[in-house]
Structure 1
Amino acid sequence: MKDHHEGYIDWGIYERNQKQLAINAYGQRDGTKSGRGGRSLLIGLMTCGQCGHRLRVAYRGRYPYPVYQWIGRTALGLPRCMCFGGQRVDAAIACELMRVVQPIAIQAALVAERTHMESQREQQRILELELQQARYEASLAERRYATCDPDNRLIAAQLEKNWETSLRRVGEYEARLEDIKLSNSATPNPDFTGLAEDLDSAWSSSSVTMRTRQQLVRALINDITVNIDEADCEIVLTIHWKGGRHSTLRLRKPQSGEHECVTSDDALAIIESMASRWSDEHIAATLNRMGLPTAQGKTWTAKRVGSIRRVRGIHAYKSAEKDGEWLTLTEAAKASNVTAHRIRSLIAAGILPAQQVVPGAPYQINALDLRDPHVATAMRRKGRPCQSPPESQIPMFTDT
């Protein structure tokens, strides 16, 4: 009761404490939305469309990822309202936020640029007025000194001193005005529009914390109502923006066991094409050479390639079934009794045919091509480039 009796604290401190208590009331139905960090972007903002309770966040997995859920009805023996992964929802809300804010940001950038230019012009205009006033005061001091009686030395000295002070002020204002004009002409106008266009990059920057992103979302969004469309297996998000506008997003609901950590299609295609002729070690080396990481962003090993093959049902390479028709570069060099460098040189010169499943994969050489007379002649040639001389060319030196 205000002013009922003298309290330990005044009324201002009491109101400030009540406001802080309301801010700290996280998780309440009408309490302030949470925005204190963590791995989930929408913690405290999402409301169940069936029961009206606010969804809570749980973290699962070896590398914990957020899951939005409400399981309050399970205590009453009822099925839970909903439970779904949060990474896909967070990414969709972030994209929608960027899409909505982008025009506003560009417009705000143009307004900021115009305000900046007007501020510079206003400063220059104020300095010009001050210079005009200083020149008037200097002219007035000169006229007073000119009309003074020379015999009155005390008054003449004071008027002369005032005149000199006025002239110094004129010089100072002229110098400041000249500096402003030079700085405005030398300094290019800031490109605020470019900052607005880089809004997406600023959002994705590693220097921006999750707490900052949460606070930005809460500055633009009041609440998000979530419903599950079981028929289409979709998550329906109704976003309530600040200012009273609403928008709806529909996202495909991940199936049980589905996650975002999936091997790329390019890597799978290479594994399928090479598995029939190459071992897991060769496939792993090829994938690493091509710069294709695993689903977790790691380098490939024979064990990881084998694991992917077993999951995808890709048959493995069996050395016992090798019929000798196709040889590797090392096997071809051993069969021809030459070095691997010689075989590689013949392939580069176009003398020895070779195949690659994909660029960067190991070479495959047909055993019949090694018995070709041109290839055999090029292999025996020593001390010369691995090139077949034209038939019409007369050799300068014999092989003997």
Structure 2
Amino acid sequence: MDPENRLVARGLEAEWESALLELKTAESELSDREHARPRSLTHEERDAILALGKDLKRIWFAPTTSDRDRKELLRTLLDDVTLRVERDKYNAHLTLRWRGGLFSEVNVPLPHSHPSPIRTADDTIDLLRRLAAHYPDTKIAGILNRQGRTTATGLSFTANRVSSLRTHWEIPCFEPKQQVQDGECMTIEKAARALGIAPSTLHRSLNDGFIAGEQITPGAPWRIRINDELRSRFVESAPEGYVKMFKAMNLLGVSRQTILQRVKRGELKAVHVYRGRAKGIRIQVPAVAPDLFDPLKNTEGVV
């Protein structure tokens, strides 16, 4: 046989075998489907199903009927549903085509959508409530702007916008308070006048931690609470036993920052001399107890 004919024959043989395999697979699938075909209902089963169909409402609302069961029930009863939305009327018109050819039309009202109102951020409103108890609207506007906050429409704050926001949320405006029991809280400039010192001196004392300050929020002005304890820290001349800072550093063998930290914690007493040439902080260095382990300092009275 010619080689070309042999190749053609082999190709036909392969196609024939492939066709036979597909036929065998199809016959097997058909046999499986025939065996899986549901059996015919008995007369009793058919009558029971027809009875259930007459009481569909009871089946639908039965506590044992799940949402999945209701969906399956609708798929059994309906062929298709056509939906037409009438947005201008806030209505949805449904056309139901039931099994058997019947049609039903249902109108379903749609909820009126309300766009969420534009409003200022909640954390900004909370901050405004705290600031309004201490500062006027102009000062509050500056603080909010320094923190990069904006109005609901993205604008920077002004005194009028702060006032409008306060009015909307019924936040009382700032009212200067009289001196309270533990001292009046003042701005640095006002506190400096009350103490009779320069504002720069009070600034340095605040930065050094020599005195404490209050700040409602980052970016707000510092406020100093004036009371008797604070007044006693600023004197015209140093009391006896108080030394300059560098001498206290040498006597205690620690840095200036460590001394200021001890003053802040109340472990060391300190004053600030604000008159004369020898201005600055003075530290009361505690008396150093004798070294109990130095034999040369503990020989007196030993027999």
TM-score by length of 1: 0.33
Q: Which has the higher contact order (CA 8 A, sep 6+)?
A: 1
More strand by proportion, 1 or 2?
Answer: 2
| Larger gyration radius, structure 1 or structure 2 | 2
More helix by proportion, 1 or 2?
Answer: 1
